[in-house]
Chains A and B, each alone.
Chain A
Amino acid sequence: MANSNLPRRIIKETQRLLSEPAPGISASPSEDNMRYFNVMILGPTQSPYEGGVFKLELFLPEEYPMAAPKVRFLTKIYHPNIDKLGRICLDILKDKWSPALQIRTVLLSIQALLSAPNPDDPLSDNIAKHWKTNEAEAVETAKEWTRLYASGA
């Protein structure tokens, strides 16, 4: 299917992701669709997500790299910029995409987003509100969700 005529760029990116993975990040292509990646991101230390293992899916559309990859959290996560469907509010996945970015840089950006939630630009209004009114409590909830849903089991 989509594997025929896979652009060399995607092949190279895949090889490099497998041979030199970024710390705390793994991404491997699906066997039946080389444009679909199973991703795991470890919760960054000193964040409410520390200790969690977060699964994501990443898909490279036909236009890639002229268009951004599509990325979504599969693991439930309590984060003001991630909604309950796992969609991520991150500029480089939308209007700030550049073809110089890669799968690796996208995943590093998502990892950084976990370290720096931005409730001023929310995707989940409720969570953002929680974050802004009582950050300590919101962080506790995020930790709790990490234990409940992202414990790596």
Chain B
Amino acid sequence: MGNAGSSHAHRRRHAPHGGHPPPPVPHPPQPEMTGNRYVFAAATPYPPPYPNPNPPQYYPYSAYYPAPPVPLPAPFDHHHRGAAVPHMDPSLPHPNWGGPRYPCGPVPPPQTAFVEHQKAVTIRNDVNLKKETLRVEPDEDNPGYYLVAFTFDATVAGCITVIFFAKEGADCNLTSTKEDLGTVTVSFEKGLGQKFRQPAGTGINFSMFEESELLKMGDVGEVYPLAVKAEASSIGDNGSGSEKATQGAGINSQITQAIFEKKDEGEYHVRVVKQILWVNNMRYELQEIYGIGNSVDSDFDGNDPGKECVICLSEPRDTTVLPCRHMCMCSGCAKVLRFQTNRCPICRQPVERLLEIKVNNTGDENGNGNGSSVENES
């Protein structure tokens, strides 16, 4: 169902083709791009091993690709984002926009490393737990116990499993590391905006656990104090790609891994650390793309500063810089940029890859509109 690509590909861009290489843009982040954060379930298929000749030194590589079918203890976590400032320059940015100065010295020569330009492959997510809604609520029937609750969208029927102290095993199977804590599975029908709350009596009593366990981030051992697995019972009526998924492991699911946080009042709150998609026996990690929320809205009128390419100010944004995940350019300007500099225009981190994402807005009315198309890789 290739859909989006062609019309954009032929447009002429107006970004200048400078004869002189500009100075390189070093790293400090800028206070920019505070637009919507939007979780986009697109990812490229797992590529041939390490196609990039310069794997990053400060980030585990697998984070930007869906992990291979054998589940990895995916080492990336969102909270390291700020720390990923390039290694060459430890002097950190002034947070002050107008304030930073430079030592008025010679400008080092630009370096434009090879940058891979890819197009996104859209994969379909049948069930989505809205991670900002995940929370615990007191169980009225059982004082001291708390129940997991959240809102989710499902385009097919399926079931939800809540697991405390969950360890991720092969093929995204989750098991509780506490034998005395049963897992709870509840089935659901398809529908958008459904509210989930685990049945009374199946919740968690925080006082029964060490605080350190509840707050602990799943490390290499990958035990998360709370995990929710949302499984699609079938692959969906239109069955794309379902033939391969006949085994139990082929059931598509979304896993949300979270930790608890203790607030000032002493109450525990849930904080989502990671979301994982298991689709057609592939494990994908969901990561936010900054700036995409502005570009997926329809009626791009070419004159809205929140949606346009930051370079030409004309075309819609469709290209994300990796690893920093700033969606800030159109593909045309991205192609020009990579010959000029290897820094992200927004945060000045080195660019390793450019990922072009076309969002299909012409989906059907059942909430499937967030993309079922597959772009060919270039």
Q: Do A and B come from one complex?
A: yes
Interface centre among B14, B107, B336 (most CB of A within 10 A): B14
Known pairs A66-B22, A97-B23, A112-B99; A7 contacts B104 (CB<8 A): no
Per the bound structure, the CA–CA distance linking A66 and B321 in Å amounts to 17
Tell me if B's interface is mostly helix, strand, loop or mixed.
loop
Q: How many of A's residues come within 8 Å of B, CB to CB?
A: 36
Any chain A CB within 8 A of the CB of B26? yes
Per the bound structure, the CA–CA distance linking A68 and B341 in Å amounts to 13
Q: Mark A56-98, 1 if CB is under 8 A from B, else 0.
A: 0000001111111000000000000100000001111011111
Per the bound structure, the CA–CA distance linking A89 and B310 in Å amounts to 25
CB-CB under 8 A from A12, the residues of chain B are 303, 313-314
Any chain A CB within 8 A of the CB of B200? no
Known pairs A62-B18, A92-B100; A100 contacts B346 (CB<8 A): yes
Nearest chain A residue, comparing its CB with the CB of B305: A16
Known pairs A89-B104, A100-B32; A95 contacts B24 (CB<8 A): yes
A residues engaging B (CB < 8 A)? Answer: 7-9, 12-13, 16, 62-68, 81, 89-92, 94-100, 108-113, 115-116, 118, 121, 123
State whether B104 touches A100 (Cβ < 8 A).
no
Per the bound structure, the CA–CA distance linking A96 and B26 in Å amounts to 6
Tell me if A's interface is mostly helix, strand, loop or mixed.
loop
Any chain A CB within 8 A of the CB of B51? no
B93 to chain A, nearest CB (A): 9
B155 to chain A, nearest CB (A): 36
A10 to chain B, nearest CB (A): 9
Nearest chain A residue, comparing its CB with the CB of B339: A66
Any chain A CB within 8 A of the CB of B50? no
State whether A121 touches B311 (Cβ < 8 A).
no
Per the bound structure, the CA–CA distance linking A96 and B314 in Å amounts to 24
State which of A67, A100, A111, A116 has its C-beta within 8 Å of the C-beta of B345.
A100
Per the bound structure, the CA–CA distance linking A94 and B16 in Å amounts to 19
Any chain A CB within 8 A of the CB of B312? yes
State which of B18, B23, B345 has its C-beta within 8 Å of the C-beta of A95.
B23
Within 8 A of A (CB), among B297-314: 303, 305, 310-314
State whether A121 touches B102 (Cβ < 8 A).
yes
CB-CB under 8 A from B100, the residues of chain A are 91-92, 96
Any chain A CB within 8 A of the CB of B293? no
CB-CB under 8 A from A118, the residues of chain B are 99, 101
Within 8 A of A (CB), among B88-125: 96-104, 107-108
A54 to chain B, nearest CB (A): 15
CB-CB under 8 A from A68, the residues of chain B are 22-23
Per the bound structure, the CA–CA distance linking A27 and B23 in Å amounts to 25
Known pairs A7-B16, A67-B18, A121-B103; A113 contacts B24 (CB<8 A): no
